């Protein structure tokens, strides 16, 4: 198939998926996967994508992960960590252990079990926030706890992916020394990103660094606001790609680097400096952050990023015998993860975050979804490296679908009890 024809079909499918998502108020990711699957099984899309679409899809997931990191305010995130660490830790550890044990019982391969566990660890915060917004709860304390906990989960999962994937693919040894080397590379990469964040993006007590001659030249603010910020989008996406390539050079997925790049960029870097005219009068500068973010989000979630999910869905070629065979696995995985997710996150919210019972259960329900990062792990494990068999891939896809459907259903069901509870508590 001609690559441009392939892309035109995918973009048409994306539009249909978005309309369906708006009508049903579910995450578009589910529909991107669904339309890709349907079109591939109907023979409209090829079973094996060409290099153009695969590269386009790879760029899409880099944009998505950068946008997710870019979305988060580092200050708000750090301020909420103290009250959310328990939810993130236990809310991720429980599903990982359950998914690992179920996968180990079925396939009896530690590499498969590790990737299954990682895929089922990170929460789909976008799906939860859309559901909460639709119910008028987007500014609630529950939404803040879920957002922060999900981000912590994502960061932890990315670190785990950076360490586990080289081991599972055979590029790192499953020995103490091999794990130490792989872990050391992960630590080195994250230290490099941290140094970049401090050096190139100085803030607070470190703003004196901006006065150093070299850093005045390398100022990220000068870089992003060149020519009144007309090239800010190009500049910031270049940063995302370069940090992603740095991650790849360390043996990690470029999406890991893109996410970290988004996390260290702040709104203040887009502030235009005041200018003067020929008569010496000054004119206030502006901020190109909002427009840049709008363009980045549009690219990530509307026309580049969705190609990744449609292309991934096209890998799901129906085999009814296989579907029947793995359905019991998917049901067991769904029930096991759903129960442990609600229990672990709910108890952590109750006893480490000081929330009441109704709020705690709402947090548990809000952390049921699995989306972007889960599918990144599936793509790495099934498409890129063939770590997991098709049975495991199908099982995870169906499990993710069921868990995502549970999010708006359970949140909507629990909303009256939650509102009654915070009313009685004076919240």
Give the residue carrying structure tokens 């067991």.
332
Average pLDDT score over residue span 216-232: 74
Residue 126 contacts by C-beta under 8 Å, 6 or more apart in sequence? 27, 68, 371, 372
Q: Is the dihedral of CA 187, 188, 189, 190 positive or negative?
A: positive
Q: Spell out the SS3 assignment of 88-116.
A: HHHHHHHHHHHHHHHHHHHHCCHHHHHHH
Q: How far apart are CA 32 and CA 316, in angstroms?
A: 12
Task: Indicate the pLDDT class of residue 229, thresholds 50, 70 and 90.
Answer: confident
Residue 221 contacts by C-beta under 8 Å, 6 or more apart in sequence? 268, 269, 270, 271, 273
Residue 96 contacts by C-beta under 8 Å, 6 or more apart in sequence? 117, 118, 120, 121
Counting other chains too, the contacts that 346-355 makes at CB distance below 8 Å and 24 or more residues apart are 347/90, 348/86, 348/87, 348/89, 348/90, 348/91, 349/86, 349/87, 349/145, 351/86, 352/83, 352/85, 352/86, 352/87, 352/90, 353/83, 353/84, 353/86, 353/87, 353/145, 354/83, 355/141, 355/142, 355/145
Q: Please indicate whether residue 282 or residue 128 has the higher confidence score (pLDDT).
A: 128
Q: Per-residue DSSP letters for 221-232? A: HHHHTHHHHTTH
Residues 395-412 pLDDT 10s: 998 998 889 888 878 988
pLDDT score recorded for residue 211: 58
User: Which range in 21-25, 50-54, 281-285 is most confidently predicted, on average pLDDT?
Assistant: 50-54
Average pLDDT score over residue span 78-104: 87
For residue 423, pLDDT beyond 50: yes
CATH number at residue 15: 1.20.1530.20
Task: Indicate the pLDDT class of residue 65, thresholds 50, 70 and 90.
Answer: confident
pLDDT score recorded for residue 254: 82
| Helical residues (DSSP H) of 138-270, grouped into ranges | 141-168, 176-199, 213-217, 220-224, 226-229, 232-249, 254-264
pLDDT score recorded for residue 364: 93
Residues 319-345 pLDDT 10s: 888 889 999 999 999 999 999 999 999
pLDDT score recorded for residue 204: 47
Task: Indicate the pLDDT class of residue 77, thresholds 50, 70 and 90.
Answer: low
Residues 242-262 pLDDT 10s: 888 988 887 677 877 887 788
Percentage, residues of the chain above pLDDT 70: 79
pLDDT score recorded for residue 276: 56
pLDDT score recorded for residue 96: 94
Average pLDDT score over residue span 66-94: 76
Task: Indicate the pLDDT class of residue 205, thresholds 50, 70 and 90.
Answer: very low
Q: Which residues pair with 287 in a beta bridge?
A: 271
Average pLDDT score over residue span 88-100: 93
CA atoms within a 13 Å half-sphere pointing along the CA-CB vector of 162: 30
- Residue 213 in tokens: 């001659």
Q: Please indicate whether residue 379 or residue 176 has the higher confidence score (pLDDT).
A: 379
Query: DSSP character for 285?
Result: -
Global confidence as pTM: 0.71
For residues 148, 149, 150, 154, the Cα torsion angle rounded to the nearest 10 degrees is 100
User: Is residue 76 within 8 Å of residue 313, measured between CB atoms?
Assistant: no
- Residue 344 in tokens: 């672990």
Domain count, the chain: 1
Tell me which residue range forms the domain holding 196: 3-424
């Amino acid at each position: 198939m001609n690559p441009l024809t392939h892309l035109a079909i995918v973009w048409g499918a994306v539009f249909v998926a978005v309309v369906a998502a708006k009508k049903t108020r579910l995450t578009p990711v589910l529909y991107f996967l669904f339309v890709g699957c349907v079109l591939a099984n109907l023979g409209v899309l090829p079973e094996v994508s060409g290099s153009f679409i695969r590269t386009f899809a790879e760029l899409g997931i880099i944009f998505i992960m950068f946008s997710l990191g870019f979305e988060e305010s580092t200050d708000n995130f750090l301020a909420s960590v103290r009250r959310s660490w328990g939810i993130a830790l236990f809310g991720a550890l429980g599903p990982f252990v359950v998914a690992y044990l179920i996968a180990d019982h079925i396939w009896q391969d530690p590499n498969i079990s590790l990737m299954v566990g990682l895929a089922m660890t990170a929460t789909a915060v976008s799906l939860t926030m859309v559901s909460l917004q639709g119910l008028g709860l987007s500014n609630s304390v529950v939404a803040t706890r879920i957002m922060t906990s999900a981000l912590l989960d994502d960061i932890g999962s990315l670190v785990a992916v950076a360490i586990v994937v080289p081991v599972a693919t055979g590029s790192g040894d499953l020995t103490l020394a091999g794990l130490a080397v792989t872990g050391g590379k992960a630590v080195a990469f994250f230290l490099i990103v941290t140094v970049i964040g401090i050096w190139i993006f100085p803030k607070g007590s470190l703003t004196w660094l901006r006065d150093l001659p070299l850093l005045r030249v390398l100022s990220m603010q000068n870089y992003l606001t060149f020519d009144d910020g007309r090239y800010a989008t190009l500049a910031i996406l270049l940063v995302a790609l370069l940090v992603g390539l740095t991650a790849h050079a360390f043996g990690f997925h470029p999406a890991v680097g893109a996410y970290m790049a988004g996390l260290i960029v702040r709104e203040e870097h887009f502030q235009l400096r005041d200018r003067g005219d020929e008569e010496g009068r000054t004119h206030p500068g502006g901020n190109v952050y909002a427009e840049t973010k709008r363009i980045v989000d549009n690219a990530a979630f509307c026309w580049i990023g969705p190609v990744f999910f449609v292309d991934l869905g096209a890998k799901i070629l129906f085999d009814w015998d296989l579907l029947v065979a793995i359905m019991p696995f998917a049901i067991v995985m769904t029930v096991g993860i759903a129960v442990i997710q609600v229990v672990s996150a709910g108890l952590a919210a109750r006893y480490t975050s000081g929330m009441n019972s109704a709020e705690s259960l709402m947090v548990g329900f809000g952390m049921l979804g699995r989306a972007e990062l889960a599918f990144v792990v599936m793509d790495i494990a099934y498409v890129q490296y063939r770590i997991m068999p098709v049975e495991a891939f199908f099982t995870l896809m169906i499990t993710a679908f069921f868990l995502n459907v549970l999010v708006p259903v359970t949140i909507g069901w629990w909303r009256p009890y939650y509102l009654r509870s915070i009313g009685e508590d004076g919240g």
